[in-house]
Amino acid sequence: MSAVWTSVIAVAGTLAGGLVPVLVQARTARRERRENRREARGTDVLAAVTALVSALADHRRAMWVLEDRRLSGADAQAVADARATSHVTRSAVTAPWTTVSILAPALADAARAAARATFAMHDAPTLVELETRRQAALDGSDRLVSAAAEFFAAVGGVLDVTPGRVSAKSSWKESR
């Protein structure tokens, strides 16, 4: 019976020796895929925040031109042209705003506040009020950028994108 047990142990050792590297390799591959998804998500969030801040700047400028022309008594065609431009720039805000809100819920409030402050430039009663609203819109965009910077500093550029949970990882080591 000793020879049988020796053979069983030898076969089990051989199987284990072949199985362990396969399991380790599979685990390593899963970890790499997870890290690649985190990096891609971080890149997507950064691109969305950048696109939103840019779109808000374009819309803020378009709103300034529109309201300045309206308040200054410019001719109807100049106001209509500025209004058409503002409609285009307003539409350009929607996609990046939605993307930021979905990919980085922690930034959704700052994104919403920045967008609403920019939209509030519409129908300013005076040039002084328009300038006040413009400054509020600039401040809102600045707060969004600051919130995004804090967000990325907290996550170290890495996001956990496990389905049903998007959370920050504080370092590369923790994310592995």
Find the range with the poorest average confidence among 37-41, 62-66, 101-105: 37-41
Is pLDDT of 40 > 50?
yes
Task: Kindly report the number of other CB atoms within 10 A of residue 79's CB atom.
Answer: 19
Q: Is residue 109 part of a domain?
A: yes
Return phi, psi of residue 159, to 5°. -120, 140
Q: Is the pLDDT assigned to residue 170 strictly greater than 60? A: no
Q: Phi and psi of 130, rounded to 5°?
A: -60, -45
Backbone angles phi, psi at 57, to 5 degrees: -65, -45
Q: What is the mean pLDDT of residues 157-164?
A: 46
User: How many domains, in total, are found in the chain?
Assistant: 1
pLDDT tens track for 122-134: 999 999 999 999 9
CB 134 within 8 A of CB 121: yes
Is residue 174 included in any domain, yes or no? no
Give the E-state strand segments of the chain in sequence order. Answer: 159-160, 167-168
Residue 83 maps to which CATH number?
Answer: 1.20.120
How would residue 157 be classed by pLDDT, with cut points 50, 70 and 90?
A: low
| Residue 176 lies inside a defined structural domain of this protein | no
Residue range 51-80: average pLDDT? 98
End-to-end Cα, the chain, rounded Å: 47
Q: Is the pLDDT of residue 58 over 90?
A: yes
Q: What is the pLDDT averaged over residues 87-105?
A: 97
Determine, yes or no, domain membership for 46.
yes
pLDDT tens digits along 97-127: 999 999 999 999 999 999 999 999 999 999 9
With a cut of 90, say whether residue 176 has pLDDT above it.
no
**Alpha carbons 62 and 104: distance in angstroms, whole number:** 27
In a domain, residue 71? The reply is: yes
Residue 77 structural domain = 2-168
Residue 15 to residue 32: CA distance in whole angstroms: 26
